[in-house]
Amino acid sequence: MNDQTKDELTADEQLVTRFIAGDERAFDLIVQRYYRQIFGFLARFTGDRDLAEDLTQETFIKVHKSAKTFDPARSFKPWLFSIAANKARDALRAVKRSLKTVDIHANQSDRDTSLIDIIAGDHEPPDKRMIEGERAERVKHALSQMSENLREVLVLAYYERLQYKEIADMLGIPLGTVKSRLHKAVMTFGEIWKAMEDEHRTPE
């Protein structure tokens, strides 16, 4: 598994090197390899698929223009994600209150579902559509109340499942900051979620 991951990273770096040398086909392969993943990240982070589509295009245009600034001694994926994240931050600042936030679906119907279940659930319950409606809207609302930097780390860690070091490289912050920021993000989400659950259960 580790050898495979290293091979994939090396292949990415080789593609960038080939593209810088004038091989446009290498750039096409980069786009094919990462387009869906970048689009998915941007769609979840912004909550707007149309905006995410535009930002994905802008991300790869930036990669095309800035490839020569890439350091082949480093991992390509965090560099690519950092460009996408910067595009998203700029767009969200422009949109401001129109932000719809992240579209994440729950995977459990019971009241004791953990935060990790809510953020990164993979399994669909039998009555998925019924559960998704109210619960997913509350997840969206909770995430919308979080600051941008906390929401970003939470999505990257729990939904995109990036490693701490990848997130640190991508955001340009120390590893310890990633861990402390993620801890704060989890705590913040938990507090918001609990308040919403309490309000939901309390009859008017």
pLDDT value, residue 124: 46
**The amino acid at 159:** Y
pLDDT value, residue 49: 82
Specify the CATH number for the domain of residue 24: 1.10.1740.10
Long-range contact list for 83-86, CB < 8 A, 24+ apart?
Answer: 83/59, 84/38, 84/41, 84/42, 84/55, 84/56, 84/59, 85/45, 85/152, 85/170, 85/171
pLDDT value, residue 19: 92
Please check whether residues 46 and 115 belong to one and the same domain: no
pTM for the full predicted model: 0.66
Please check whether residues 85 and 109 belong to one and the same domain: no
Alpha carbon 100 to its chain's center: 15
Please check whether residues 76 and 137 belong to one and the same domain: no
Please check whether residues 78 and 110 belong to one and the same domain: no
Domain-terminating residue out of 56, 78, 99: 99
Please check whether residues 117 and 82 belong to one and the same domain: no
Q: What average pLDDT score do residues 103-109 get?
A: 39
Please check whether residues 163 and 191 belong to one and the same domain: yes
Q: Which domain, by its residues, includes 178?
A: 101-204
Per-residue confidence band for 202, with pLDDT thresholds at 50, 70 and 90: low
Percent share of the chain, pLDDT over 70: 72
Q: What average pLDDT score do residues 69-88 get?
A: 89
Specify the CATH number for the domain of residue 177: 1.10.10.10
> 124-133 in b/e burial notation, b at 16+ Cβ within 10 A?
ebeeeeebbe
pLDDT value, residue 28: 92
Percent share of the chain, pLDDT over 90: 28
Of 58-67, 69-78, 97-106, 166-175, give the range with the top mean pLDDT.
58-67
Phi/psi of residue 64, each to 5°?
A: -60, -45
Does 193 score more than 70 pLDDT?
yes
The number of folded domains in the chain is 2
Domain-terminating residue out of 59, 76, 99: 99
Please check whether residues 50 and 120 belong to one and the same domain: no
Please check whether residues 87 and 182 belong to one and the same domain: no
Please check whether residues 181 and 113 belong to one and the same domain: yes
Domain-terminating residue out of 99, 132, 165: 99
Per-residue confidence band for 87, with pLDDT thresholds at 50, 70 and 90: very high
Does 57 score more than 90 pLDDT?
yes
Please check whether residues 188 and 120 belong to one and the same domain: yes
* Mean pLDDT, all residues of the chain: 76
Please check whether residues 95 and 107 belong to one and the same domain: no
- Tens of pLDDT along 126-163? 454 544 556 767 776 777 788 888 888 988 888 788 88
